């Protein structure tokens, strides 16, 4: 079973689109109601089998009208248990290859004896850790149409699948039951959509990820992180609900120019411990062993920027780009490591330029010059808070 935990960064997903066309005879009129359903499953490094059924009938008894059995892993032979197989890239059938799908276009006849639809799911965990099931279902939308009391979950609490211990695990059942009681209203042309998403995640301590609100970034500046996935970016402006576990990896691909790095802390109460810093050299950090009530704090390290006061020479390039690309409003800002050169295709580039660096006390602490385009350059040195540049041009030699 230990092989399973070497592929925790993989994500398995399944989206099922089910359309039910419901036709009923209400009183003396014939009416129709179209219910479309989109049901999706996503597995984050766990081994889960899903058995789903759409049932129709009365409040006391329903019969299956459509079923599915899907796996987030490749089963061994026809056995549901799969101790030595890798996680699949998508939910599959028991052959371990064919993507799982749910039949659609099922016709359901409603009458006073058969006025119930039930979506029922049995989740079986074959992971050696408990698995949490997060669900997102538009029950409020359905309740406003069918009536809140006619849209019922089997449980409203958190779903937890027990860890696999080597014996046949007991499935955890979840269902949504929709009852149509209004037999006096015509639903002709009406359409309602049920959408449901189930996300399966490993158990253990889950720590929320938060941005350090004490660090005020310039307007519009955000950064992106990745969790065990190098394709799905998560913006710092949208971390709500994001949680990580021990062994998860947080990484970056790049940072905005205004940031030199991103400190990661594990915070618990008033204490916090630095886990690592993400920057141009270190692009990923592994989350250490977490404790209850831990929080992962992302603290941006702002770059020290210096303005070049009064700059109006269009032949100056910064990192090979027009200096206007480095403007904030009407002011140009540079940071340590920026390279200043001249655009040799600009007629004005023959003019020598001298730069003067001042600290916050208006004392000159450095400077440099660029004389010949295509050959000379000036690299911005390490800067202090509050420092700035001025410049002057000299007559062409």
pLDDT, tens digit (0-9, with 9 covering 90-100), for 262-273? 999 999 999 999
Structure confidence at residue 140 as a pLDDT band (50, 70, 90): confident
- Average the pLDDT over each of 238-242, 293-297, 303-307, 334-338 and give the range with the smallest value: 238-242
Residue 129: Cβ-neighbour burial (10 angstroms; 0-12, 13-18, 19+): buried
Q: Is the pLDDT of residue 12 over 70?
A: no
For the segment 62-94, what is each residue's pLDDT rounded down to a tens digit? 988 888 888 888 777 666 766 445 666 677 777
Residues of the chain with CATH 2.60.40: 207-302
| Predicted confidence (pLDDT) at residue 311 exceeds the cutoff of 70 | yes
pLDDT digits (tens, 9 = 90+) for 363-380: 999 999 998 877 789 999
Write the pLDDT tens digit of every residue in 31-42: 334 445 666 666
Q: Is the pLDDT of residue 18 over 50?
A: no
Cα–Cα distances in angstroms (integers) from residue 332 to residues 305, 309, 319, 355, in the given order: 10, 8, 13, 14
DSSP strand pairing (11-26 vs 106-110): parallel
DSSP readout, 84-119?
A: TPPEEEEEE-TTSSSBP-----EEEEE-SSS-EEEE
Residue of 279, 394, 391 lying closest to 340 (CA atoms)? 391
Backbone angles phi, psi at 298, to 5 degrees: -100, 115
The 8-class DSSP code of residue 372 comes to: S
> Residues 104-131: what's their mean pLDDT?
77
Class of domain 207-302: mainly beta
């Amino acid at each position: 079973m230990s092989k399973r935990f070497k592929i925790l960064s993989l994500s398995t997903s399944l989206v099922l689109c089910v359309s039910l066309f419901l036709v009923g005879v209400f009183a003396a009129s014939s009416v129709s109601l179209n219910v479309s359903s989109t049901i999706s499953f996503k597995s984050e490094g766990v081994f889960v089998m899903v058995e789903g059924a759409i049932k129709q009938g009365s409040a006391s008894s329903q019969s299956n009208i459509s079923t599915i059995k899907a796996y987030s892993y490749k089963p061994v032979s026809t056995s549901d248990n799969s101790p030595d197989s890798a996680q699949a890239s998508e939910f599959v059938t028991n052959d371990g290859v064919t993507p799982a799908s749910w039949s659609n276009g099922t016709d359901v006849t409603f009458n006073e004896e058969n006025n119930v639809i039930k979506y029922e799911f049995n989740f079986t965990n074959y992971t050696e850790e408990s698995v949490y099931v997060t669900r997102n279902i538009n029950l409020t939308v359905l309740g406003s149409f069918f009536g809140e009391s006619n849209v019922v979950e089997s449980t409203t609490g958190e779903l937890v699948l027990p860890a696999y211990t080597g014996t046949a695990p007991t499935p955890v059942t979840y269902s949504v039951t929709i009852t149509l009681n209004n037999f006096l209203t015509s639903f002709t042309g009406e359409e309602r959509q049920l959408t449901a998403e189930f996300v399966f995640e490993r158990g253990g301590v889950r720590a929320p990820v938060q941005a350090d609100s004490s660090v005020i970034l310039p307007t519009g500046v955000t950064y992106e992180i990745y969790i065990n996935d190098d394709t799905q970016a998560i913006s710092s402006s949208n971390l709500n609900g994001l949680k990580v576990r021990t062994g998860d990896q947080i990484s970056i691909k790049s940072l905005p120019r205004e940031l030199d790095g991103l400190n990661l802390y594990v915070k618990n109460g008033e204490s916090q411990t630095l886990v690592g810093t993400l920057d141009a050299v270190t692009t990923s950090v592994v989350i250490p062993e977490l404790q209850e009530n831990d929080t992962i704090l992302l603290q941006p390290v702002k770059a020290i920027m210096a303005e070049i006061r009064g700059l109006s020479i269009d032949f100056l390039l910064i990192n090979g780009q027009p200096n206007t690309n480095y403007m904030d409003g009407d002011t140009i800002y540079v940071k340590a490591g920026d390279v200043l050169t001249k655009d040799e295709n600009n007629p004005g580039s023959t003019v020598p330029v001298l730069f003067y660096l001042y600290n916050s006390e208006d004392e000159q602490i450095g400077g440099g010059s660029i004389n010949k385009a295509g050959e000379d350059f000036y690299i911005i040195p390490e800067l202090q808070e509050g420092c700035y540049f001025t410049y002057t041009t000299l007559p062409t030699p």
